[in-house]
Amino acid sequence: MTQQPPPPIRITPVAVPPEDDFPSEVEMTLVDHLEELRRRVLRSLLAVVLSAAACLAFVRPLVKLLEEPAVGIRFLQLAPGEFLFVSIKVAGYAGLTLALPYVLYEGLAFVLPGLSRREQKLVGPAVAGSALLFAAGLAFAWWALIPAALRFLVGYGADVVEPLWSIERYMDFVLLLMLATGLAFQLPVLQLLLGALGLLKAQTMLSAWRWVVLIAALAGAVLTPSTDPVTMLLLSGAITALFLIGVALVALSERVRGATAA
């Protein structure tokens, strides 16, 4: 009796949803990836340096602008060349802020080929939201945190000591506080990305509110250059409020996706 050969095995290709394919995927070796990363990092650094050099030409108006919250304070140059170093530092921070969109562009251009179509759709809104929130963080630090901190620091012991401040110490305080606040304001963008990628749900985020309050208090203490409680409370309160806003946005996006799917 002749044994019949087994029927051929048919492999049915699995259709990949259009949202999960990689339209910009490019085959590159590890050396090519490292070379591309080096070029993009060098271009980003060059953009920061050129922006800082341009800001150095207008550094005196920038310094005067940063001195405005310190009403009634006299600034001193306590060491030779202190104002020169302050000018370079202010120009560097300003140049980094101006060059930030280009730096983000270079970073996104490097990682974009490895993202799926669904993930690429999140890039534009995430970058726009990040830039707006960073600007909002700078404005919040300028209009709320810095004046509140200065009122507390100047008022405490005003009847004992005369407020004569080092220009370098003051600029360190203002610039670091503004930068820290701008970075802290990125929290809702991070929450929206985690929610859009399905890594965290709004209910899960909300259930961890006690830990968020604790972490916000610690972040307010760490990110605040001074040790005054007013600034720490304002910053920790802002971080907690931003977290709740992020939870609300994630919940809204989940409801919109559910309504669309139905």
DSSP state of 78: -
Count of beta carbons in the 10 Å neighbourhood of residue 47:
20
| Confidence band for 100, pLDDT divided at 50, 70 and 90 | confident
The residues with which 76 forms a beta bridge, in sequence order, are 166
> How many residues are recorded in the chain?
262
Query: What is the DSSP code string of 84-136?
Result: HHHHHHHHHHHHHHHHHHHHHHHHHHHHGGGS-HHHHHHHHHHHHHHHHHHHH
- For the stretch 188-247, pLDDT in tens is 888 888 887 777 888 888 888 888 888 888 888 877 766 677 778 888 888 899 999 888
The residues with which 74 forms a beta bridge, in sequence order, are 164
Residue 105: per-residue pLDDT:
82
Residue 23: per-residue pLDDT:
53
Query: Sign of the C-alpha dihedral, residues 136, 137, 140, 141?
Result: negative
Contact between 44 and 99 (Cβ < 8 Å): yes
| Confidence band for 4, pLDDT divided at 50, 70 and 90 | low
Cα 74 to its chain centre, rounded Å, is 33
Angle between helices 117-140 and 187-196 (to 10 degrees): 160
CB burial of residue 90 (10 Å; 0-12, 13-18, 19+)? buried
Structure tokens at 91: 């120009």
115 or 18, greater pLDDT: 115
pTM for the model stands at 0.77
* CA–CA distance, 136 with 125 (Å, rounded to integer): 16
Average pLDDT over all residues of the chain? 81
* CA–CA distance, 209 with 156 (Å, rounded to integer): 34
- Is the pLDDT assigned to residue 16 strictly greater than 60? no
| Confidence band for 34, pLDDT divided at 50, 70 and 90 | confident
Percent above pLDDT 90 for the chain: 19
Residue 56: per-residue pLDDT:
92
